[in-house]
Structure 1
C-alpha cells in the first residue's frame, strides 16, 4: 500500500521512459500516464486512473509534469 511518502516519477530517459518509485522502491519505467496508473493500482490503489495520476498530490513529478515524456 502506498504510504504518505510521495510517489516519484523521474525525468524522461533517452527512450521516453520515466522511472517510477513508490515507497522507496523503483517499480519500473512508465511511458505514459496509463503506465503510472497501472503501477499505482499494483501498489494497492485499484481505483487509480489516468485522471488521478494527473491531479494526485501523492505524486512528485521530476523533470516535468504528466505531459512530459520526451527529453
Structure 2
C-alpha cells in the first residue's frame, strides 16, 4: 500500500480561518487553523510537509474555495 498523504483545507469557519487536516495512511490529523496561505505553509512545515504547492493545481484539496478565499459569506454579510 502506497503512502498517500491528502491535505484538506476546509471551508472558512463562521469564527474565521480555515481548518487544515492531513490524512495519512487512513489517519486524520488536525494541523490547526489557517488565516492566510502563509499560515497553511507554516502548519504544513511544522507537520514535516515542506514545499507543498498551495495552488489549486497542487496536492491540496481546497473545500469551499481556493487559496484566495479567507472570509465566508456569513462574515461578508455581517
TM above 0.5, yes or no, is yes
The count of aligned residue pairs is 66
Which structure 1 segments of 5+ residues have no match? none
Specify the structure having the higher radius of gyration (Cα): 2
Gapped regions of structure 2 (runs ≥ 5): 73-78
Which 4+ runs in 1 deviate beyond 6 A?
none
For the Cα contact (< 8 Å) 2:56–2:66, is it kept in 1?
no
Tell me how large the CA RMSD over aligned residues is.
1.8
Q: TM-score, normalised by structure 2?
A: 0.71
Q: Which has the higher contact order (CA 8 A, sep 6+)?
A: 1
TM-score (norm 1): 0.77
